[in-house]
A and B are shown apart, each in its own frame.
Chain A
């Protein structure tokens, strides 16, 4: 989908953080190779991958640091998020505790990572919930998440009951508060995956890019402070999902 003329290209360091087995590596695998593996080996330390993302007026080359999720690896994280311009903090929609962990990561990043880092909060494993658009989740309200919490562990996903433990409203509310991008994704189906990366690419302020791009501004008003960004992309999440889909990125 890339156009003929050479566009300015710049690389962006992106780090993935989140609890173990929420699907960080799978998201990357989907984004980079458009692939999915049921049993992905846990990441030891961190994995490094790259992928380009074509925006209308520039090309972003993501240098992706995919980190290990287990709690005790947390002390290694600073090594990986050092100098990162963007971060994907991932939680598992079907596991309430993973959102808590995600919040910890957000707090860590906000205080310790480079100032102005663009953070996206991503709820993964949308395929395990009964609704896959992520919109209805907000209607379930708190009672839904409470019920899921008290229920059996998250492994009962294939039951007729919804495995979702984190409502869209809850996570979105939090993201809004903190000025984060927010998406619910499925690495398995590919739902919303490239959108996340595109949104991040758009949200990176041009001033922080290594290679200066042209004078044009980012699409759709993106590119301001992270607070502004949220307003713009909150809509993209739901309405623009179909349009932006795969073509946004050169996967």
Chain B
């Protein structure tokens, strides 16, 4: 048993890298979304765009026109044909794939299919399968002899043929690209060729001189050597890399060719080939626009290689500005990072703007991934990698540094970040870059290690950062001096320190390969990200603004975690869903996918990687709320059976296809929309962390009940005039019921005192129903009519009142339950608010007597009912609202603490929902009791209304709607009736049953919900906040919370009768 488990752990440690989630791998590699998969290695070896995938591979012998022969493998991708020779010395087949292009002794090419003019099948020897490839530069003919089964060869050729055909359309791009290449100019001997009007742009150096002494650099001889190489081995797009190519690069590129070779060896040339207008298009598209990045760029334009004369000119600065801006637009996640200005400035000395633009994006995506990102995680990660390499290769030095508390990255970080450009004299930095673009990021590490190795002895004497830095600073300044000034050997004396550095870097540290770096990055990634994240959290929480002080630190931390969790999990889920969809409608492989920024999509999921989005839209917000407040969880089957509202965040990918993952589906209620809008202080339709914190502080940070009441009132005071109209009153009551529908913590003594309510206390909504209905009644009772409304009342008052009374009396006899469900809810009149001078109308605002069974009941009830008439606009003010709330101890308690406590942050003891996440039987328990029998006449009606606030909410609204409709149609005052108590009672019990059955009989419920036409939620949707309605297919089987709660009456019972009333006005 023991041995087995140890075996398993051993095995898992071996396969560990593969067990990491793919997203992690992507981030390490920066660009591709499949990590160190064959696809990634393939692209990175051949420097291909991310859209390329290895489609076919075949062993093959390459014969060049110059006479060389190489054995290797021929690869085919969507738009490239690539060859890499198997390095003769390298051990096994596995390594041949990884070292092919970088190895100095190898040969290879990455030939865009569009650059192939012709492919012929050679018949010389029938038992061999060979192709002759003629490339764009006619003078070249490559012979490829396949060493494989005939069928494999045939298949490869078939695929090649197909892809060749699909690439025909790119021909125009190819011409443009070739025309802009300096190599063409060079090979033609400086003569103007077809398509070439003038000498191609080889950077600012053409005008402002290239750094260094051209003579000393032997620029002319280098140029000649290159001209020869390019003539024989193809150039730019068709270039074949032979060992000489590597040597030529190692000795330093000639000035005018440098830009192009950088482009070629880094692979950015191919990006440019397929996106010929991307740069200029981007500039056009965003011209004149502003962003933070643009501001930051402006600040640094004058201070980028300021000593180079080109950057003291408008022209140079203009180029720099355009390249940096274009990139910041194209990749807003990175935007602009200091050091990019220096790198780009350096590039611009040797290449055109367009070239620099594409090279910059290749740098950011592939060569130094994450270096310039928002959090600079790539920089920090590579520092960690560098440190671990120093520890491994120079343990004594490392130990010394640790002992003397010298932080290595303090000196090495700028090396990496600016690619040595601002550490070494420019001429030498460019030499490093020459190799860097050819061989990749490992070069930075090799050079860095070599610097430490060469200065090792001196560094061992150092005990503080300062001395450490100054030794290296001095070293860089003397790179051009002889490495062995006192040697007798003249040759040795001629070796400069820089040459020595290169030799040490690439010989002594040749063991540092691309794979080393990738592995190391993977190993340290997590700890680096975590430390960035904890720093970010600390800083963010500290700077959340004054509002945040009202919450506890622990709560802030909790909100922070929740906020980003929701943000990133949701983004990941959406991506997964997107990817799933993509996979389903595949088939458009080739043409898409060459834009620069799209690969960065996969770089999300951790704050440490740089926040991609900082705003929560409404859906995110719902999910966020659902995690901290149980009322924000939808009453859908999925959440009903999820274990309470306790956040469960197992990241099972299987449930990914739901937009909510395996989290409970959040509710969608008008109240939540109001909260969202209230918190969205900048009207961005999105909430920042700061918004959320301020918002929660507004609710939870309030100690004073008055503040809490005002907060709620303001939520419903849409135009901020200090009044809430009839519609608003109803919505408030809906919201109150919505929030408490799963029960809430009632204080001991409240609610429980009612002997009729079976359970009392916890989770009991009973007292709340009563309170809310009382609330509505009182609201209407004490509401102030608007002025126009008042006049209206005077005009139609008497008649209307009488009618009303009649109706109410008669209604109770009405038993008709004719089924008719095409009832339409009509919006209540849009607030026709009168001037505010009628506040004093004084309908007993200060009246303390709110008892129900008093003698003056009838008039007040009548006025309340008159208030139902939409023709009489009315409103309540904050003082009224306050008074009404304070008159009811349950409501008072709710605003005192219940509301705030319904949102659970870290410090609150999570309340156990006790498995009953819906309002239990007690919610409607009162229905069986009470005054049904004697409920005739107005008084009975009112009493019963009081018994069920939810019914009131709904009923009142329907009546208003009906009346409104009626008036619109007939200009006849609306008729009112009340429901039959017994019937309503029976129905509501069914309602409650339905709640319980919801999970199993969702379909039935749904049907019922559909029947419930005159429904407040529907009215909400009409009002066009848009997001109220459920568009998602998976929600078809659920009811929205407002339907389930604010409208608990069985739909079948009510609507038909109302319908009946309308059809038969004045019949009685």
Q: Is B413 an interface residue (CB 8 A)?
A: yes
Please give the distance in Å from A20's CB to the nearest CB on chain B. 6
Known: A45-B417, A48-B469, A63-B464. A108 touches B542 (CB 8 A): yes
Known: A42-B300, A82-B407. A74 touches B539 (CB 8 A): yes
Chain A hits for B536, CB < 8 A = 75
Chain B hits for A50, CB < 8 A = 466
Residue of A nearest to B608 (CB): A75
Query: A residues 29-69 with Cβ under 8 Å of B?
Result: 38-46, 48, 50, 63, 68-69
Report yes or no: A63 in contact with B465, Cβ–Cβ below 8 A. Answer: yes
Known: A40-B303, A41-B304, A41-B306. A75 touches B535 (CB 8 A): yes
Query: B residues 870-905 with Cβ under 8 Å of A?
Result: none
Report yes or no: B539 in contact with A20, Cβ–Cβ below 8 A. Answer: no
Q: Is A80 an interface residue (CB 8 A)?
A: yes
Report yes or no: A44 in contact with B414, Cβ–Cβ below 8 A. Answer: yes
* Interface size of A as a range: 20 to 34
Known: A21-B299, A44-B338, A45-B414. A75 touches B422 (CB 8 A): no
Among A40, A44, A46, contact of B342 (Cβ-Cβ < 8 Å)? A44
Report yes or no: A72 in contact with B376, Cβ–Cβ below 8 A. Answer: yes
Chain A hits for B341, CB < 8 A = 42
Chain A hits for B375, CB < 8 A = 72, 75
Give A242 to B524 CA distance when docked, in angstroms.
54
Give A231 to B466 CA distance when docked, in angstroms.
33
Give A50 to B466 CA distance when docked, in angstroms.
8
The digit string for A98-109, where 1 denotes a CB below 8 A from any CB of B, is: 000000100110
Q: Is A1 an interface residue (CB 8 A)?
A: no
Chain B hits for A46, CB < 8 A = 410, 413-414
Q: Is B337 an interface residue (CB 8 A)?
A: yes
Chain A hits for B543, CB < 8 A = 104, 107
Report yes or no: A70 in contact with B296, Cβ–Cβ below 8 A. Answer: yes
Number of A-B contacts (CB under 8 A): 90
Please give the distance in Å from B658's CB to the nearest CB on chain A. 35
Give A44 to B339 CA distance when docked, in angstroms.
6
Give A42 to B538 CA distance when docked, in angstroms.
26
Report yes or no: B542 in contact with A104, Cβ–Cβ below 8 A. Answer: yes
Report yes or no: B417 in contact with A44, Cβ–Cβ below 8 A. Answer: yes
Give A69 to B373 CA distance when docked, in angstroms.
15
Which of A41, A43, A45 gathers the greatest number of chain B CB atoms within 10 Å? A45
Give A46 to B417 CA distance when docked, in angstroms.
11
Give A72 to B536 CA distance when docked, in angstroms.
10
Q: Is A73 an interface residue (CB 8 A)?
A: yes
Give A45 to B306 CA distance when docked, in angstroms.
18
* Interface size of B as a range: 35 or more
Residue of A nearest to B336 (CB): A70
Report yes or no: B413 in contact with A45, Cβ–Cβ below 8 A. Answer: yes
Please give the distance in Å from B996's CB to the nearest CB on chain A. 53
Query: B residues 255-303 with Cβ under 8 Å of A?
Result: 296, 299-300, 302-303
Chain A hits for B470, CB < 8 A = 48
Q: Is B559 an interface residue (CB 8 A)?
A: no
Q: Is B380 an interface residue (CB 8 A)?
A: yes
Residue of B nearest to A63 (CB): B466
Known: A72-B376, A74-B539, A76-B380. A48 touches B413 (CB 8 A): no
Chain A hits for B407, CB < 8 A = 79, 82
Among A40, A73, A111, contact of B376 (Cβ-Cβ < 8 Å)? A73
Q: Is A78 an interface residue (CB 8 A)?
A: yes
Residue of A nearest to B305 (CB): A41
Report yes or no: B410 in contact with A20, Cβ–Cβ below 8 A. Answer: no
The digit string for A101-135, where 1 denotes a CB below 8 A from any CB of B, is: 00010011001100000000000000000000000
Of the A-B pairs whose beta carbons lie under 8 Å apart in the complex, a sample of 30, sorted by A's number, is: A21-B300, A38-B302, A40-B303, A41-B342, A42-B338, A42-B341, A42-B342, A44-B413, A45-B413, A45-B414, A46-B410, A46-B413, A46-B414, A48-B465, A48-B469, A50-B466, A68-B338, A69-B338, A72-B337, A72-B376, A73-B338, A74-B535, A74-B539, A75-B376, A76-B379, A104-B539, A104-B542, A107-B543, A108-B539, A108-B542
Residues on B facing A (Cβ under 8 Å) = 296, 299-300, 302-306, 337-339, 341-342, 373-376, 379-380, 405, 407, 409-410, 413-414, 417-418, 422, 464-466, 469-470, 532, 535-536, 538-539, 542-543
Given A20-B299, A70-B296, A75-B535, 7 new contacts (CB under 8 A): A43-B338, A44-B339, A46-B414, A70-B338, A75-B375, A76-B376, A108-B542
